[in-house]
Amino acid sequence: MVTKLTISPCDIDEKGNVTVKSKKFEVMLNPSGYTHGYEICYNEKKAMGQSAPQPKFQHVGGEKVNFDIVLDGTGVVPGKRPDVKTQIQQLNGIVYQYDGNNHQPDLVRLLWGSFIFFGRLTSMSAEYTLFKPSGEPLRAKVKLAFAGYVSSNEAALKANKTSPDLTHLVEVKAGDTLPLLCFRIYKNSAYYLDVAKANGITNFRDIQPGTRLNFPPVQ
């Protein structure tokens, strides 16, 4: 069974804890790829008479994710879906719609296999490429860009990169086991069942080298 990319809105409480809502948008066709960017900000101010700046570290910038998805209403893609216009409205309702209570669009979770990203939409554009004789769109290519979300609590924790209160993305090496990896990160191998569930793993004894696993914050 093919795992589809899903986009889900989230709630954030006063402590910065994130809860994923049950509502979600599941893509019709997975992206052919995505870009996951990182940024480091420097102060490049030059002193008087200096010919070239000497960049000085200021802070680590936010993460960014970009990808394209295709929405189809021709019936070529298996599965029952509404027309393209309705699909655009459904997507807008999750990533773009302004939340009057929070005075901003919802935080969203992007989930695709082992890839998990929390952020907010920064840009969205739809290119319509196929139409009915009436002019109704039958296919659209949607470009999406998201900026990563970091709570104030998580920002403080990032001073300690090994903190078990942070999400870790780990690539499995030869000889690694899930209990061993849990012990390295959490100092407690008993979390292996929780990590297996979070990554959709049914057989934790058969994890191939090169697999990338998410180790979520411990409760």
What pTM does this model have? 0.65
Q: Is 44 helix (H, G, I), strand (E, B) or coil?
A: coil
Work out the pLDDT band at 157, boundaries 50, 70, 90.
very low
| Local structure of residue 90 (DSSP, 8 states) | H
Whether residue 168 contacts residue 212, with contact meaning beta carbons closer than 8 Å, is answered with: no
Contacting residues for 51 by C-beta, under 8 A, at least 6 apart? none
Residue 96 reports pLDDT greater than 80: yes
Structural domain boundaries in the chain: 6-42+57-153, 160-215
Rounded Cα distance, 26 and 47, in Å: 52
Closest CA to 56 of 37, 45, 42, 46: 42
Contact between 39 and 29 under an 8 Å Cβ cutoff? The reply is no
Give residue 66's pLDDT band: very low, low, confident or very high (50, 70, 90): very high
Q: What pLDDT digit, counting tens, does each position of 106-116 carry?
A: 899 999 988 88
Report how far apart, in Å, the C-alpha atoms of 212 and of each of 32, 156, 182, 193, 208 are: 19, 25, 14, 16, 9
Q: Which residues contact 141 (CB under 8 A, 6 or more apart)?
A: 68, 69, 70, 71, 126, 127, 129
pLDDT at 103: 66
Reply yes or no on whether the pLDDT at 23 is more than 80.
yes
The architecture (CATH level 2) of 160-215 comes to: Roll (3.10)
| Average pLDDT of span 44-61 | 67
Nearest to 144 by CA among 86, 77, 93, 96: 96
Average per-residue pLDDT for the chain: 83
Cβ pair 90, 82 in contact under 8 A: yes
Binned at pLDDT 50, 70 and 90, residue 37 comes out as: very high
The SS3 of residue 64 is strand
187-212 pLDDT tens trace = 788 888 888 888 888 888 888 888 88
